[in-house]
Amino acid sequence: MKNMNFFPLYLSLKVAVLATLLAIIVGLPVSYYLSRSKGRATDFFDALLTLPIVLPPTVLGYYLLVFFGRQGAPGRFLEQHFGWTIVFTQTGAVLAALAVSIPFFIQSARTAFESIEENLLNAARVLGRSEWNLFFTVMIPLSWRGLASGVMLVFARALGDFGATLMVAGSIPNQTMTMPVAIYDALLAGDTKMANMLVAIMTVLSIAILYGIKRLEKRMIRGENRHAANQD
């Protein structure tokens, strides 16, 4: 068996972390808007945001490839004016991971925001809280479980994406090859030992991440219960 190359593991973690951070930054205001708005336009916008969940990853990757490629208007604009190339780069891998994973955060965050009692929000408004202050000091603390669940789903989905990442970023060794793509390439090359090792690493890593998040959630719940008991 060839020497283990840890670059795909490093790149997968890097892509997953960046995609998760971007999903939080973009997803929080979008989730808030969806939780506060009603109507057909909102439902249509929600359907578009949910579409990546049901679309095959290769189809989503194709759209991204056409959109951000040199033949697409956005891709051509970014390359001509800023010198940014999206396709077949690590930026493309992050973009693909973000596209396939952000709907999970938006859905979780929206459900969490909608579960907050309106009376609590109105009471905070009566006390003089601005909507900006209300969002960060009331809504986010009250919905942290849903937000944490969304973050967990985004990270796990971004870490394991294959189809969209392969379409947009390709499989360039030591440049854009993530762990799922490396597993695919190892199987194509007939290197089953390498594929088995990569699969084992991904499995152990995923279990460790999920276990760590579950333990953190339980500790936070116990802390809240102790705080409530002390107040009583």
Tell me the pLDDT band of 152, cut-offs 50, 70 and 90: confident
Taking CA atoms, 135 is separated from 116, 121, 225, in Å, by 11, 9, 23
Lookup: tokens for 223: 């802390």
Give the CATH number of domain 7-178: 1.10.3720.10
Model confidence at 227: pLDDT above 60: no
Quick one: pLDDT at residue 228? 57
What is the pLDDT, as a whole number, of residue 215? 75
* Residue boundaries of the structural domains of the chain: 7-178
- Which residue, chain included where needed, has tokens 């697409």? 72
Q: What are phi and psi of 83, to 5 degrees?
A: 75, 20
Task: Output the CA torsion sign for 14, 60, 81, 88.
Answer: positive
Summarised one tens digit per residue, pLDDT across range 66-91 is 999 888 888 888 888 888 888 999 99
Mean pLDDT of the chain: 86
Highest mean pLDDT: which range of 10-24, 120-134, 193-207: 10-24
Q: Which long-range contacts (CB under 8 A, 24 or more apart) does 130-139 make?
A: 135/32, 139/32, 139/113
Instruction: Of 47-61, 67-81, 208-222, give the range with the top mean pLDDT.
Output: 47-61
**Phi, psi (deg, nearest 5) at residue 61:** -60, -35
Within 43-143, strands assigned E span none
pLDDT in tens, 172-193: 988 999 999 999 999 998 989 9
pTM for this predicted structure: 0.86
Q: What confidence tier does 209 reach under pLDDT thresholds 50, 70, 90?
A: confident
- Residue 73 and residue 129: Cα distance in Å, rounded? 43
Q: How far apart are CA 52 and CA 165, in angstroms?
A: 13
- The per-residue pLDDT for range 29-51, each reduced to its tens digit, is 999 999 888 888 888 888 888 99
CB neighbour list of residue 60: distance below 8 Å, 6 or more residues apart:
52, 96, 99, 100, 163, 164
